[in-house]
């Protein structure tokens, strides 16, 4: 009796050992391991269904995510992970399933060709409802004093006023994060402007600088984009560049025209789109307006609310809008 018990314990131990070894084998495997199909180790930590969303570094993107996250959590019972990734790497991550969705894309034809058309690992999730536009802006207080600054032809006249230590003898054109779409260097060259493009390296740095300029009521010229909450804090007026025509920006070196208006798109991982259930459906349905987005953005970036609080505030006030997004 005793012997058999001891035996059985030993047998059980061996079984456990074998099972553990087996699990490890299955887990790390001798077979192929496609890392493009691996999810985040933090995902599904408590057995909940998890959606991983890519957050880009600008606040507008954070607003999309905040609202989507709040609704996914509270209305659909998902757990949401967010990963901050720059735009191009985000496409890659999306293709690999490291993230499930990008909520706001400003147009990346190369990536679209590669992942949506060729590899078919990403699908378009429909429009966000917001139209993006990139341009050059001066503060409205400056534009009111010097109305002709809003035409690019007159920019050289103001170069000396827009000088900073960083731009040296030329005027300063403040540019943003390296992840942004920009033709500014070529534009300055091709339009023969006496300006120096100064890259601020991150949007945070750029916003901080703009605010400091505004506080001191100094003139400045900056690359900026709409929708952006900062316009409510620092009113800015766009400088007209030569009009955009289809294909005028085809050769990046010869660009001499304005930026297009881009309807912002959502993109989903192909697998997630198929088998993501209600979450995938919800994200496809997600569509709001520039004003909506700006409202949330302003709460986050300027009122220093946490994204969660900001989303809650907006959701409390716009129930009719988001009700329509929930899958039936």
**Which stretches of the chain bind another protein, using CB under 8 A?**
27-29, 32-42, 45-46, 55, 57-59, 62, 81-90, 92-93, 96, 98-99, 114, 119, 164-166, 168, 174, 177-179, 198-209, 212, 215-216, 300-301, 304, 306
Pairing of strands 122-139, 221-226: antiparallel
Question: Minimum distance from CB of 26 to another protein (Å)?
Answer: 11
The span from the CA of 287 to the CA of 23, in Å, is 43
Residue 156: Cβ within 10 Å count:
15
Residue 41: Cβ within 10 Å count:
7
Nearer to another protein, 29 or 319 (CB): 29
Question: Minimum distance from CB of 179 to another protein (Å)?
Answer: 3
Question: Minimum distance from CB of 273 to another protein (Å)?
Answer: 18
Nearer to another protein, 122 or 325 (CB): 122
Helices (H), 154-275: 184-190, 203-215, 230-233, 270-275
Encoded tokens for 217: 């009521």
Nearer to another protein, 24 or 326 (CB): 24
Nearer to another protein, 82 or 150 (CB): 82
Give the burial string for 218-256 (b: 16+ CB within 10 Å, else e): ebbbbbbbbbbbbbeebebbbbebeeeeeeebeeeeebb
Question: Minimum distance from CB of 251 to another protein (Å)?
Answer: 17
Nearer to another protein, 75 or 92 (CB): 92
Question: Minimum distance from CB of 270 to another protein (Å)?
Answer: 12
The span from the CA of 86 to the CA of 54, in Å, is 9
Residue 111: Cβ within 10 Å count:
19
Nearer to another protein, 81 or 292 (CB): 81
Whether the Cβ atoms of residue 69 and residue 82 lie closer than 8 Å to each other: yes
Nearer to another protein, 125 or 307 (CB): 307
Residue 275, helix vs strand vs coil: helix
Residue 106, helix vs strand vs coil: coil
Question: Minimum distance from CB of 87 to another protein (Å)?
Answer: 7
The pair phi, psi for residue 90, each rounded to 5°, is -65, -35
Single out the residue of 232, 225, 234, 223 nearest to residue 197, CA to CA.
223
The span from the CA of 181 to the CA of 86, in Å, is 12
Nearer to another protein, 304 or 328 (CB): 304
Question: Minimum distance from CB of 63 to another protein (Å)?
Answer: 10
Question: Minimum distance from CB of 153 to another protein (Å)?
Answer: 27
- Helical pair 59-74 and 290-301, crossing angle rounded to 10 deg: 100
- Largest Cα separation within the chain, whole Å, is 102
Nearer to another protein, 1 or 27 (CB): 27
Question: Minimum distance from CB of 121 to another protein (Å)?
Answer: 8
């Amino acid at each position: 009796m005793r012997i058999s018990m001891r035996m059985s314990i030993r047998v059980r131990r061996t079984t456990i050992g074998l099972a553990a070894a087996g699990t490890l084998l299955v887990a790390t495997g001798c077979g192929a391991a496609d890392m493009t199909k691996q999810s985040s180790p933090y995902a599904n930590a408590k057995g909940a269904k998890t959606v991983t969303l890519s957050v880009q570094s600008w606040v507008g993107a954070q607003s999309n995510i905040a609202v989507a996250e709040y609704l996914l959590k509270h209305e659909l019972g998902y757990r949401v992970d967010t990963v901050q990734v720059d735009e191009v790497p985000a496409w890659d991550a999306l293709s690999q399933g490291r993230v499930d969705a990008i909520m706001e894309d400003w147009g990346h034809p190369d990536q679209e060709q590669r992942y949506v058309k060729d590899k078919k690992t990403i699908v378009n999730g429909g429009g966000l409802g917001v139209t993006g536009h990139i341009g050059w802006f001066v503060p409205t207080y400056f534009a009111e004093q010097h109305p002709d600054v809003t035409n690019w032809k007159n920019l050289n006249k103001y170069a000396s006023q827009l000088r900073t230590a960083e731009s040296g003898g030329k005027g300063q054109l403040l540019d943003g994060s390296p992840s942004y779409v920009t033709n500014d260097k070529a534009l300055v060259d091709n339009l023969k402007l006496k300006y120096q493009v100064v890259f601020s390296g991150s949007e945070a740095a750029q916003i901080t600088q703009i605010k400091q300029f505004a506080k001191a009521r100094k003139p400045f010229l900056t690359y900026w984009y709409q929708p952006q909450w900062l316009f409510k804090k620092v009113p800015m007026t766009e400088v007209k560049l030569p009009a955009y025509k289809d294909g005028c920006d085809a050769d990046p070196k010869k660009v001499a025209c304005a930026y297009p208006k881009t309807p912002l798109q959502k993109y989903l991982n192909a697998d997630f789109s198929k088998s993501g259930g209600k979450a995938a459906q919800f994200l496809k349905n997600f569509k709001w307006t520039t004003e909506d987005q700006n409202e949330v953005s302003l709460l986050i970036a300027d009122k220093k609310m946490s994204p969660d609080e900001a989303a809650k505030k907006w959701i409390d006030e716009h129930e009719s809008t988001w009700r329509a997004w929930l899958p039936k």
